[in-house]
Amino acid sequence: MSAWPEHALAAAGHPDPYPYYRALAREGWRRDEALGLWMAASRRAVAAVLGSSVCRVRPASAPVPAAIAASPLGEVFGRWLRMNDGEAHAGLRAAVAASLAALSLGEATDAARRLARTFLATDAVDGRRLDDLVDFLPVATLAALLGWPEAALADAAEGIARVCRALSADADDAARERGAEACLALTAELTGLPATGWLRRWRAEFAGLDDAVLCANLLGVLFQSRDAGAGLLSAGIAWRCLGEWDHGYPAEWRARLLQDPVLHHTRRFVEEDVVLAGQPLRAGDQVLVLLAAAAHDPAAEACMDFGRGRHGCPGEALALATAHGALDALEACRPDWRALGGGIVFQGPPNVRMRRFGAGESK
């Protein structure tokens, strides 16, 4: 049996982090001095933080991270729904949620199935090909539905991956530069797309808002779908490697995600002194909200993967519909599931339980 994760930021990549999470959930709250963080782990603590108006998604002193504040990437970041609170958030939330809901889930599943089928037709389905599919598909599906030309989908997915890398905690100047360039290129591409189909609905929902806000939030949605969507698809594939399962049913996904979540934590910044679920917090404190621990709290009644409260995921149904289509296409290829499941490692951003299938394969 493996030792417990070194700390909460390493838990999503651990082979079995759940005994550790359960112990944290029993405590409710814990302070990690080395990380300089409070950890909210019980269902009660997590719900209190996500529901609190003084727990913000960004620190008041830095609405945009200093390292990107003066770049095009910083401008876009500052306009994202996910990175705003208060009135700005409420207006954006209504527009983004309505735009996402305007797409039929069947259309999303069909698009993902078609794109995955084309992607898988060119090569044998080995572990590396699966990793490439997982990296490509969530962003490519949304981009295709927005009207991106088919030939540019791989570039769109790579561009969003660069934005993700530029925003990760360990990014260096070169990564931030590449992220800013990708951001400019993606914005130019988006601006040139014909406003038909789903994109027309976005334009209608954002009618009273600046065009730059619409473009930023379209990129924001592609960004949100990238790592979490890849983690979700990689989980669905890993479960299939263990045996057949009903990947067409959202309830089946949620039951599995309750046991083995994909999105393990998010953060909040405390704006005023407050007591939450019995824990006093001070203005300026940072809280790591352990969604995966709360899912393993005996009091949990549903998966926490898609968050809760004001910032809860508006893309849940769309993400599940996309993964459904991709798994259909993969199933039709009749791959050697047992072989694909043999080399799984966990490797991804600190908050995502990301499976990689080809880490041990030589090219």
Out of 55, 146, 263, 329, which residue is the one contacting ligand HEM (CB under 6 A)?
Answer: 263
CA 138 to CA 161: how far, in whole Å? 11
CA 65 to chain centre: 19
- Give, for 276, the enclosing helix (H) or strand (E): strand 274-276
Give least dist CB 197 to ligand HEM, A: 17
Out of 42, 225, 234, 279, which residue is the one contacting ligand HEM (CB under 6 A)?
Answer: 225
| Region of 202-210, 280-288, 314-322, 330-338 interacting with ligand HEM (CB under 6 A) | 314-322
Is residue 314 within the footprint of ligand HEM (CB under 6 A)?
yes
Give least dist CB 274 to ligand HEM, A: 18
Q: Which 283-312 residues touch ligand HEM, going by CB under 6 A?
A: 305-307, 311-312
| Region of 187-195, 245-253, 259-267, 324-332 interacting with ligand HEM (CB under 6 A) | 259-267
Stretch 66-85: interaction string toward ligand HEM, x if CB under 6 A? ---------------xx---
Is residue 313 within the footprint of ligand HEM (CB under 6 A)?
yes
Number of Cβ within a 10 Å radius of residue 173: 9
Out of 160, 221, 237, 330, which residue is the one contacting ligand HEM (CB under 6 A)?
Answer: 221
- Cβ contacts of 222 within 8 Å, gap of 6 or more: 139, 142, 143, 156, 160, 186
Q: Are 160 and 223 contacting, i.e. CB atoms less than 8 angstroms apart?
A: yes
Roughly how many angstroms between the first and final C-alpha of the chain, as a whole number? 31
Partners of 274 in the beta sheet? 281
Is residue 139 within the footprint of ligand HEM (CB under 6 A)?
no
Is residue 167 within the footprint of ligand HEM (CB under 6 A)?
no
CA 315 to CA 229: how far, in whole Å? 10
The dihedral formed by the CA atoms of 63, 65, 66 and 68, expressed in degrees to the nearest 10: -120
Residue nearest to ligand HEM (CB): 315
| Region of 7-15, 19-27, 221-229, 248-256 interacting with ligand HEM (CB under 6 A) | 221-229
Closest to ligand HEM by CB, 5 vs 229, is: 229
Rounded to whole angstroms, what are the CA distances from 138 to 121, 177, 267, 304? Answer: 18, 24, 23, 20
Is residue 232 within the footprint of ligand HEM (CB under 6 A)?
yes
- The residue with tokens 């990129």 is 219
Token code pair at residue 189: 């591409």
Closest to ligand HEM by CB, 93 vs 117, is: 93
Q: Which residues bind ligand HEM (CB under 6 A)?
A: 81-82, 93, 96, 142, 221, 224-225, 228-229, 231-232, 262-263, 266, 305-307, 311-315, 318-319, 322
